[in-house]
Structure 1
Amino acid sequence: MTTPTAARIAFIGTGLIGTPMVERLLECGREVVVWNRTRDKLAPLLEAGAQAATSARDAAQGAALVCLCLTDTTAVEEVVFGHDGLVTVLGAQHLIVDLSSIAPDATQRMAQRLQAECGAHWLDAPVSGGTPAARKGTLIVFAGGEATDIERAAPVFDALAQRVTHMGGHGAGQLAKSCNQQLVACNLMVIAEMLAFAERSGVDASRLPAALAGGWADSLPLQVFGPRMAGNVDKPRLGAVSTFRKDIEQVVRLAESVGADIPITYAALSEYRRAIVEAEVGPDADASRLIRLRRATSSASDS
């Protein structure tokens, strides 16, 4: 086994938010080895100074810190425990920093399994703030795991985050992210509903985000997505409708498992499911298109 170095960071998964994270790490002088299933996505990162690995396993061998930023729970489990997975090369000196947003209960199980099989440590560290915050290094991190592992991950967090909050043991960071997504997903649906209502009433909806700024109705989603919704702007994509649907489905599953009453969240989930099958929106569309669902419903009621 190659002796890992604290100076090198392995980064696995360079999608919508993973790419600006790696760019930020490079800007801060970190040595980063990258791997992604779709190799074409690595091109701009290699030009910026990242090193390419032939596999996730190869990326992790010489790095004490192994960052994951993957699509879902299945992808994380496959990369860590699948054929030629990370578990085959990791040891007690390694720390997985999982920046993905995945299931809290699966995170607990995988962290325990990793420790038992190879002695490596796991820190769930999902983030909030989106691609703009990733580029600026101002992400919010919800950390679950040991406090000492948060300290070990400082080369990553110092570059990427404005705040890291230790939420508790393994899985607690992911649960906090689920709470975050519950608020954001429901908020976006109400923002779309509110703007469409304003339009329908003859108000210039494009003026509302600025008019509401600083008041009790204000929020970051309103300021980011509100002008895009009112102006029919959906590129570049900031957050896919299907991603919010996935996140809110997880909230519902977790809430049911503990007996929590979440009627507003159930209603929002129903609307996300409808948005995905509607031609006006669709699963891969940016969440800015959610307003089209409300407009279409209003138009249908007139006919």
Structure 2
Amino acid sequence: MKILFVTDPLESFKIYKDTTFSMMREAQKRGHCVVACEMTGVRWQQGESVSAQVRHIDLTGDQAAWFTVSATGREALKDFDAVLMRKDPPFDSEYFYATHLLSQAEREGARVFNSPAALRNHPEKLAILEFPQFIAPTLVTKNEADIRAFHATHGTIILKPLDGMGGMGIFKVGTDGLNLGAIIETLNRDGQQTVMVQKFLPGIAQGDKRVLLIGGKPVPFCLARIPQGGEVRGNLAAGGKGVAQALSARDREIAEALGPILFARGLMLVGLDIIGDSLTEINVTSPTCFQEITDQMGCDVAALFIDALEAAL
């Protein structure tokens, strides 16, 4: 197979933990052709197919100079066996436009994973609203009075922007409501921006678990991202410690309920975030944690993913 990875600049990869790198390594191991591009090199022009300025790469096994380029050029996305959208968030207007270009490539015959339409239809914070039976008390609003009423009902709460990533912009407010007004003003921008508010889950002390779904099925191990140093955020980008562990019965219940539904919509790879027994986010843009789970538990997650990709094609 010839696989195109749509990524951030290859030069920015931290290959000791990068999930896209682990996918590339497994694909090359199986004899597939690994090709990479950035969204800046993708274009559509009347009379042409959606194309990208690409680099055919070979992984070297070296930690520093980890790839070499064997060929470059502009190629149509429809000419690849698979196109993997692995650009990291944020899901901003440029990411949104990128999904439309990828949808056009699909109309021309490209096979894109995850489905561009599914990426648009499953914003990572709001996708949980479809599955209220699995989530903690949650409010989505622009209104300050609504937030204050939710705080009065539930005590300690978490507030976060809908477009955040890596734990950015997350605030915890205790029962005393200290700084609640200032936090609301910061997040809702005087009522102009929508905010998500959730009841604080003490289970965060045991980690914000990343449960991976591949081809609609749960990987048997998850990565619990445990807050460090007085932080409330477990995100690895915010300094959390990643501890791999087997899925709990509740983790598996949630994963097995959502997996077939999301896979049927074109979401081959999904990262569920679960704190305690509650689903908090559904990550679809560029789910990670492959290498951490593999390194700690011996479960080759990249191999599971390439298995699913080969089966889909």
Q: Which has the higher contact order (CA 8 A, sep 6+)?
A: 2
TM-score (norm 1): 0.30
- Between structures 1 and 2, the one with greater strand share: 2
* Higher fraction of helix: 1
- Give the TM-score of the pair, scaled to structure 2: 0.30
